[in-house]
Structure formats: C-alpha cells, structure tokens
Structure 1
Amino acid sequence: MKRIGKILIGVTLAAGLVGGGVWYAKQRAAQNPETRYKLATVEKGEVTQTVSANGTLNPVVLVSVGTQVSGTVRKLYVDFNDKVKAGQPLLELDDALVSATERQSAASVVNAQATLELAQANEARMKSLFAQEYVSKQEYDQASQALKSAKAQVALAKAQNERDRANLNFTVIRSPVDGVVIDRVVDLGQTVAASFQTPTLIKIAQDLSEMRIDTSFAEADIGSIREGQKARFTVDAFPNRNFVGEVQQIRLNPTNQQNVVTYNVRINVANPEQVLLPGMTAYVNIGVQKREDVLLVPNAALRFKPAEAAEKKAENGQKPASTAGMPPAGEGGGPKGPGKGKKRDGQSGTVYVLADGELKPVSVQLGITDNRNTEVLSGDLAVGARIVTGENTNGVKPPSSVGMRMF
C-alpha cells in the first residue's frame, strides 16, 4: 500500500510539473508582444475623404398624364413598360355625355346662323324703307342693333361648339412625349372625375438612359459639396458594382425634420444599359478631399489603448476610457489632445509603436480619413514603423500585473 501511495504521489507531482510548465509557457507566449498584439506597418499612400447619403433614382423627365374631362375608362391601349410615341393614344373615356353636349352646341350654332340671316334681311328691308321715309330712324336703328346681336350670338355659339369639340377630343388621352410607361393608375371601367383637380392616369418616363438621384445631405457636409463633383454609388440590386454620377445641382431650399437640416443634392447618372430602374435606393458617396503620397495609419490603431494603461488609470482613480464604438479619427472621434474642438484637420491622436519589445505611445497630428485609414500630418512616426491595431486574445485573458501567490 505504501508503494502504491508513493507512485500516486509521484504521478501527481509529475502532472503538476507538466501543467505548471504548460501554464508558464502560455504566460510567456501571452506576454510576448509579437504574439499578443496585432501589428500593422506604417506606409504612404492616398486617402480620399467622402460624405455619404442615401437617395432615390428617378427619371430625368417624368410626365404625369391626366385628363381634363370626366368619364369612364372605355379602352386601354397601353400597359406597364410599353414604349409610346408622342401623340399615340393611351386610353379612351366614354364620350356619351361629351358627345351629346357637342351636338347640342352644334345645333345652337345652326339656330344662331338662322337668326342672323333673318336679322340681315330685316336690316336690309328697314334700310330701304328708311331711305323712302316709310319707317322712322328709331325702327331702322333697332333693326341694325338686332343684326349686331345676331352676329354676336353666332360667334358665341361657335365658341361653345369649339369648346365642346375640344372636350370630345380630350376623351382620347394621348401621350405628350416619347417614352416608357412606368405606371398605370386606372383600369378598364374605372370612373375618373376631373371636377376639382386633374387626376393622374398614367406616368411616362421620357428617357431611362439618363437618370437622376435626389439625395439629402446634412448641413455639416453640404459645405464640401460642389457642382461638377464626381459621385459614386451602389444599389441593392447590384451590390458588387459601383456606378458613377456627377453633382448637377445643390438646391437652396432646406428641409427641417426634427431639428435636422438637410439639403437636396441632385446627381446626374448615365444609364446606357438601363439596368438602373426608377425608385431604386442609391447609397451615394461624394469625394470632397484627396491626399496623395501621405503617411497613413489605420483607424484601428487610433482606437487602440493597452490594458495596462486602463489599469493604471483605474489605480489612480481615473475612469478608464472605453474604446468600444469610438468613431474613427478625423470624423469628430478618436483621441483628442491640444486640437480638441477642431474638425477633421488639426486633430490629434495617439498610436502605440512596438520598439525593442515594448509599446511606446506616439502623439500624431491627424488630417482627413476615409473611415479606414487616416492621414498623419505630423508626429514622431516614420514609414515602416510597426504600430498596434489590437490584441490577439484567442480566448485567453491577457496576463495580469498581479503575480500568482505561492502557498
């Protein structure tokens, strides 16, 4: 029994030594900066700062075809996606009432002409009798006045008849432009009323090879946008394809919703393949500043803060700064130093450089950013320097500064 006990004790000691050795090796590996931290090399390159907004694709010319007369839709000649020519019939309304009104006014013209002929005969007769002094001057003047009134009645009747004929022609709705039908609001047998306002029956896009994007940019970004700037955008239908447009107009009419002021920016887009359709949502980016051959650091390096620095602050009674969710430097976020309160250019930050196996904080002055990399304007940072962008935890907690107690 004593021998078995000694064997068990020996096995336990050996397992403890092995486990301790493994733990010690892991701790040494975890403390090695080369394996503990994610590193990146400082390089030179170009960076473009952009402003972003969402917008809607629309045809350059969208014609809403309505009607000036009321009636029931009797015939439909076009449907969705049909190509139409200017003057082509689109639909017909029931013309029973309008046609009856036109015939009535035509009859009024005939009646007025008959009255005019009688007035002309009376006036000629009175003129002859007045010359022979068989009628008085008053009777002759009355005949002349009746002739003038009959002429006016004929003109009035003809004008009413022309109006009714125009309304009769309006029962056939024709296309005002060449284009494509993108919307049909009415169906066969539907009654449309034009009593108070012109109802929209059909919408026609004149040319889908040229489109426009109507976007809303915040007032903080509108100062960087100029007419003629290039704009890049994507749509959900083609997520892996970038499209290019050009800023056509910055509308001066602001929109204020919940104290947020935005301005409508219209962007022209060429659509020769006609793959972009009306109503698509466009995610627009406009490049407002560009720098070439400048020193760049990843934004992740500007957000990184070693755990030791946070623990040191906590020991000194300071609240540790949380880096989670920190906005990228150069966009109102990132660590701020003497340049606090300045926007974009002139902002300061701190990166950690790995030198001689130790982390060294380096203060830098920041320029513009593309949300991935940020321009370095000045600071003790050179090309090729290795900076820390994060920690490789791999599920293992970073080593604590407190040593293990030995009993």
Structure 2
Amino acid sequence: MKKSKLIIIIIGVLLIGCIGYFIFHKEGNTVALITEKPHYGDIATSVTATGKIQPVDTVAVGTQVSGTILKVFVDFNSVVKKGQLLAQIDQSLFLAQVEQINANLQLAKSNLSYQSSNYNRQTELYKAGGISRADFESAKNQYEVARDNVNSVVAQLKSAQKNLSFTNILSPIDGTVLSRKVSEGQTVAASLNTPTLFSIAKDLTKMQVQASVDEADVGNVKVGENASFTVDAFPDDVFTGTVIEVRLQPAISSNVVTYTTIINAPNNALKLKPGMTANIIIYTKEVKNALLISAKAIAFQPDSTLGKQFKIRKVFLGNNKEKKGRINSKNETAPKPQKDSIDHKKAIVWKRVGDSLLPLHIKIGLDDDVNVQILRGITAQDEIITGVNTVKQSKNSKATEQSPFMPKRGGGGSGKK
C-alpha cells in the first residue's frame, strides 16, 4: 500500500514538473513583414577600373646640338609661352664655325668673279678664232665650278647658322614645365638619340585619365559613356568625364590582360595633377527617373514558416494560371524568375492583401545590386514585401500567474510564507 502511494506521488511530481516546464518555457513567434514602396530615381550599371591622370598633350623638349648648358631660364612649374627661351647652350664653337664658313664664302665669291671674267674673255677670243675649243671649254668649266662652289658654301653657311640657332632652346607650345632635367654647366651630347631637357604640358585645365579596364569588362565600355572618379588627395570630391577612346593595344601583366581607356577630365580648379591615381567608375548603361525597388524584394520568397500565418498563392509563369493554397512543405516554393530578353527579365515580387500573400509579375531592367528598375507590373503605390522579422515573445510572466502548481515567492522583506 505504501509502495503504490509512493509511485503515485512520484508520478504526480513528474507530471507537475512537466506542466511547469511547458508553461514557463513555451514561446510564441510573431512574423512581421518588412515592406517598401517603389520610388523614382536614377540607376546605372558600371565598370570599375584604376588609372593615372595625365595631361592631354605633353611635349618633350630636347636639343639637336651638343655642348655645355650656359644658361637655364625656367624651372619646374614655370608657365611658358610658345617661342620663349628655356635654356641656352654655349655658342662659341658654333659662332666660330659660322665665321669660318663666311670667310670661305667670300673666297668662293672672289674666285667666281675671276672665273666669270676669264670665261667672258675666252668666249670673245674663241669667237674671233684666237683660241682653241679646248681652251674655251676649260674656261667654261672653271667658271661653272666656281659658281657651284659658291652655292655649296652658301648651303654650309645656312647649316651652321641653323646649328647656331639650335643653341637657343625654345618652347614649342604654350604650357607648364613639368620637369627640368638639366642644370647650368651640364654637358649634353646629341648623337643618335636626342636628349630630353624639359617636359612641357600643353594645358593643365584639360586632363585625361588613362584607365586600365579588364578584358572581361572592356566589351561593355564604349566611346561617349559617362565616367566618374576620385583621387586620394581629394577623397570627398567626385570628378566627372567621358570616354573618348578605347585603345586596341592590350597590356599584359602577370597574365592579366587590360585595355587602356582614355577618359577626358576637365580640371578648371587645377586640383588634378599629373600622375595621380584615379579610382574610376564607367557607367555602361544609365536610366534617369526610373521606377526602382530594392533588390531585396526580387530576392524575397515566402517559405513554409509564413504558411502558418498567411495564405500564399502561387503563379506559374508558363501559362499565367494561378493556384491558391497554403504552402505546407519545402517543395512548394515560389516560381523562379525567367529571362525575357537580353536586357529585360521577368521576376516576381510579393504583396500582402489581408491575410494573403499575392505574387505579382514584373518585368525588370537594369540591376545595380542595390536597386532594380521596374519596367512593368507594379506602381509607386504598391507596398512590396522585402523581408520578414521574427519576434519571439516569452509567456513566462503570464504562465507564472496562471499556474496553480508553482509555489509562490515570499513578499518583499516580510519574512512570511
């Protein structure tokens, strides 16, 4: 008898404990839908690249003659005009050569004068029969040689004078001196290769970016597309430009193939400097004032957990027939988007109507991974589901008040039980 009572007591205690555990630890889940309305804005697809900022036109100024730099009249960042004297090579040897050829010219002219008189005299004697034909032809030949010798010396003088003018290094364009590679007293030797003395940028208010575009992206880049870029010197400033050239010559580095793309960059504020590294975005497609929705709305698909709280309708894109009913298994999922064309794709978004979730067919355009362009299917007044929030609500406090099996705690500091 005692044994049976003990068993009953043990079973009762276990039953009370199970009931208490169930009451205190049971939680309810409430699903809150996250929705948004489509909005109007700009959207674009883009290609990213890096590149260097360079002047539109840079001229390397060299020298055609050898000698010692006598004077340098400009320095780095000097603004110069076309024809301005930049530097001067020692002219002493070239002046001496000009003077020597001038003396030779005077000698050649004197000889020509004598041979001309002799030729005229021999001509008169030959006509009178006073000399032979051989003597006449010899005088004629000496006259022609003297005349050609004068022409030769004149040409030599022009060459020497030109070389003398080359000792003055002049600016070929209006611009700014980017580099100076010589100093006074330095000797320059012009042999097979012309040494570069100065580098001059034509106009620093008009710059260009030489972007290296990956071969996987270059197919989308075309002349006339807009671009924007930033430089580390001005991280808060966004500079704009336009693609003006996509060069066909590839550049290969570590088996990575890139193509040089030229982007013009107005530089009226002169913030951009040659050699700066630019982080570039080329907008391959752009749409202004498009109806947009978050990309999360396209990715959202209701699952079986929502089927406990809402009625979910399915739509098959193949025949556009609807099928109503709850989703009670994992196999019953929303239909996947189907491609409609190269640029336009079909997709499904979900809208809540009462206690039902309705799928809506839409046609989408550009997708920048943040927003998606809506071409057809919904309006700016529709509220579209983009996700869910699951809120867990504990029933511990309510269960404690309702359970008659749990002992009550003592009052605050009274000591009574």
| TM-score normalised over the length of structure 1 | 0.69
2:132 aligned with 1:136, yes or no?
yes
Cα distance 1:242–1:46, how it changes in 2: closer, same or farther (>3 A)? same
Q: 2:286 aligns with which of 270, 286, 289?
A: 289
Residue 276 of structure 1 corresponds to 272
How far did 1:361 drift?
8.8
How far did 1:181 drift?
0.8
Aligned CA-pair RMSD: 4.1
Query: Does the 8 Å CA contact 2:73/2:87 hold for their aligned counterparts?
Result: yes
Q: Aligned residues: percent identity?
A: 33
Residue 368 of structure 2 corresponds to 370
Cα distance 1:347–1:278, how it changes in 2: closer, same or farther (>3 A)? farther
Letter in 2 for 1:373: N
Cα distance 1:354–1:191, how it changes in 2: closer, same or farther (>3 A)? farther
Residue 396 of structure 1 corresponds to none
Residue 404 of structure 1 corresponds to none
Residue 192 of structure 2 corresponds to 196
How far did 1:306 drift?
9.6
Q: 2:204 aligns with which of 197, 208, 212?
A: 208
Distance 2:390 2:140 in 1: 109
Letter in 2 for 1:44: H
Letter in 2 for 1:46: G
Distance 2:336 2:143 in 1: 95
Query: Does the 8 Å CA contact 1:47/1:370 hold for their aligned counterparts?
Result: no
Cα distance 1:291–1:130, how it changes in 2: closer, same or farther (>3 A)? closer
Alignment of 1:30-41 (within 5 A): 31-34=29-32, 39=34, 41=36
Cα distance 1:187–1:193, how it changes in 2: closer, same or farther (>3 A)? same
- Structure 1 stretches lacking a partner, 5+ long: 1-16, 310-315, 317-334, 393-407
Distance 2:387 2:354 in 1: 14
* SS of residue matched to 1:127: helix
Alignment of 1:2-401 (within 5 A): 24=25, 31-34=29-32, 39=34, 41-52=36-47, 53-218=49-214, 221=217, 225=221, 227-247=223-243, 249-251=244-246, 253-255=248-250, 257=252, 263-282=259-278, 283-286=280-283, 288-290=285-287, 292-297=289-294, 299=295, 338-339=338-339, 345-346=344-345, 366-377=364-375, 383-388=382-387
How far did 1:107 drift?
2.8
Cα distance 1:253–1:54, how it changes in 2: closer, same or farther (>3 A)? same
Letter in 2 for 1:372: V
Query: Does the 8 Å CA contact 1:180/1:205 hold for their aligned counterparts?
Result: yes
Q: Deviations over 1:215-238 (max 9, x none)?
A: 344566556555444433322222
How far did 1:32 drift?
4.3
Distance 1:132 1:264 in 2: 82
* SS of residue matched to 1:180: strand
Letter in 2 for 1:375: Q
Cα distance 1:214–1:33, how it changes in 2: closer, same or farther (>3 A)? same
Letter in 1 for 2:61: V
Cα distance 1:373–1:98, how it changes in 2: closer, same or farther (>3 A)? same
Indicate the structure (1 or 2) with the bigger Cα radius of gyration: 2
Q: Deviations over 1:42-83 (max 9, x none)?
A: 422224213233333222222221211122322111011111
Distance 1:301 1:169 in 2: 75
* Mean Cα deviation higher: 288-297 or 353-362: 353-362
Letter in 2 for 1:388: G
Cα distance 1:256–1:139, how it changes in 2: closer, same or farther (>3 A)? same
* SS of residue matched to 2:229: strand
How far did 1:261 drift?
6.1
Letter in 2 for 1:169: S
Cα distance 1:43–1:63, how it changes in 2: closer, same or farther (>3 A)? same
Residue 406 of structure 2 corresponds to none
Distance 1:122 1:79 in 2: 61
How far did 1:152 drift?
0.5
Distance 1:204 1:237 in 2: 23
Cα distance 1:152–1:223, how it changes in 2: closer, same or farther (>3 A)? same
How far did 1:376 drift?
4.2
Letter in 1 for 2:44: Q
Query: Does the 8 Å CA contact 2:247/2:261 hold for their aligned counterparts?
Result: no
Query: Does the 8 Å CA contact 1:75/1:91 hold for their aligned counterparts?
Result: yes
Letter in 1 for 2:385: R
Residue 324 of structure 1 corresponds to none
- Structure 2 stretches lacking a partner, 5+ long: 1-19, 306-328, 330-334, 392-417
Query: Does the 8 Å CA contact 1:116/1:147 hold for their aligned counterparts?
Result: yes
Cα distance 1:118–1:338, how it changes in 2: closer, same or farther (>3 A)? same
Q: Deviations over 1:343-378 (max 9, x none)?
A: 653265x77878989999988654212342122456
Distance 1:171 1:303 in 2: 73
Residue 409 of structure 2 corresponds to none
Distance 1:127 1:220 in 2: 85
Distance 2:271 2:167 in 1: 35
Give the number of equivalent residue pairs. Answer: 344
| TM-score normalised over the length of structure 2 | 0.67
